[in-house]
Amino acid sequence: MFGIELQDGWTIYIWLISGAAILIGVAFGIRWAARNEQFDEDIKYLVFDDNDESKMTPEEFSKYKQVNAKQEARRTELLAEREAEARDQQ
């Protein structure tokens, strides 16, 4: 149709290149997620607040308080780092 004739068996190379590109993309995605604390099983507790105590067992509520305190401390730490970087750039 366009004057290009490809030999038989060339499509396997397209599949191999596509598969390699997908695997490389997945590897970069997992690396990013690991560096940005995305594999935290306790993240589910961050959707609650103190008004949800009646919906949780005492153990869950205790875990919520613990996770929330940890996340708030991490947030404060990251904000302090960003402020320090901003000051250093000025």
pLDDT at residue 4 in the model? 67
Alpha carbons 47 and 22: distance in angstroms, whole number: 33
Residue 31 has pLDDT above 90, yes or no: yes
pLDDT at residue 2 in the model? 62
pLDDT at residue 16 in the model? 95
Alpha carbons 83 and 89: distance in angstroms, whole number: 10
Q: How confident is the model at residue 23 (pLDDT cuts 50, 70, 90)?
A: very high
- pTM, to two decimals: 0.56
Domain boundaries, the chain: 11-89
